[in-house]
Amino acid sequence: MTALIDRLFDSYDRGRLSRRGLVRTLVPLLVAAPASAADTLPVKSLNHVTLFVTDVERSRQFYQDLLNAPVVSKQANGINLAAGPSSFVGLYKAGQGSASINHFCLGIDGTVETASALLAKHGIKPTIRDRDGVKELYFRDPDNVQVQLQNVDYRG
């Protein structure tokens, strides 16, 4: 984009572009410019997807029979099945609702606190919960989809 801006100023300097034309061209470019790397959270992996299921044991049996996915961790109301070397699928008992995809988790470098501070810069207020000494960060996207951010080493 720097080369484009240089060409625009060169055209302005040579009289081929008016000041109004320069501003009219620069403003959309600068407004649409992507955030700087310092203001982003580069995703390293799709860490996991959590499914709310009607019967955890039946779903575990289905996925293990179909995908040969071993259990990597257990929690009070569900289990996590391996999906490759660093990802997993969470199977948790659906509450009063029906089966659904509850959320997805992206693996990032860094801590929940670092991610929370960066989200705040973008006007996003995440929820951080403590589950057995593990801090978990959640927020919702513009379509109200729940997103979790965790360090790439997180395994449930």
Strands 127-131, 134-140: pairing kind: antiparallel
Low-confidence ranges of the chain (pLDDT < 70): 1-2, 22-23, 27, 29-38
Which pLDDT score is estimated for 24? Answer: 74
pLDDT in tens, 98-138: 899 999 999 988 899 999 999 999 899 999 999 889 899 99
Among the listed residues 110, 99, 106, 111, the one whose alpha carbon sits nearest the alpha carbon of residue 139 = 106
Which pLDDT score is estimated for 39? Answer: 78
Residues forming a β-bridge with 56 = none
Which pLDDT score is estimated for 6? Answer: 72
Which pLDDT score is estimated for 29? Answer: 62
**Can you tell me the distance from the alpha carbon of 105 to that of 80, in angstroms, rounded to the nearest whole number?**
13
Distance of CA 76 to the CA centre of its chain: 25
pTM: 0.67
47: region left, alpha or beta (phi > 0 left; psi from -120 to 50 alpha): alpha
DSSP state of 37: G
Residues forming a β-bridge with 31 = none
